[in-house]
């Protein structure tokens, strides 16, 4: 088989990311947590075991320790999302 025939038979390369990953929204969890904080403060307190003001205070204390830098390949997970997942 000639080289030209091999090149023509090669399939189109697929992208390593999915369409929902290329959208602007980082994850559904960030959207859900924002909605939870706005609509149901009692449930927010039940999930995180603190109210939103305490969460923000705690985030300010630890954000410099848990924040990561963005790279050329991907954006980093924010300190807020890291703390939400941890709690």
Q: Where are the domains of the chain?
A: 25-86
* Each residue's pLDDT tens digit, 29-55: 777 888 888 888 888 888 889 988 898
pTM of full prediction above 0.85: no
* Each residue's pLDDT tens digit, 12-36: 666 665 565 555 555 667 778 888 8
Alpha helices in 1-87 (DSSP H): 3-9, 19-22, 28-39, 41-48, 52-66, 79-86
Looking at residue 12, its pLDDT comes to: 63
Looking at residue 26, its pLDDT comes to: 58
């Amino acid at each position: 088989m000639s080289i030209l025939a091999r090149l023509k038979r090669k399939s189109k390369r697929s992208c390593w990311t999915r369409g929902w990953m290329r959208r602007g929204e980082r994850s559904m969890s960030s959207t859900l947590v924002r909605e939870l904080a706005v609509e149901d403060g009692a449930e927010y307190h039940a999930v995180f075991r603190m109210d939103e003001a305490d969460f923000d205070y705690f985030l300010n204390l630890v954000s410099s320790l848990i924040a990561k830098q963005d790279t050329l390949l991907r954006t980093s997970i924010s300190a807020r999302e890291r703390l939400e997942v941890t709690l």
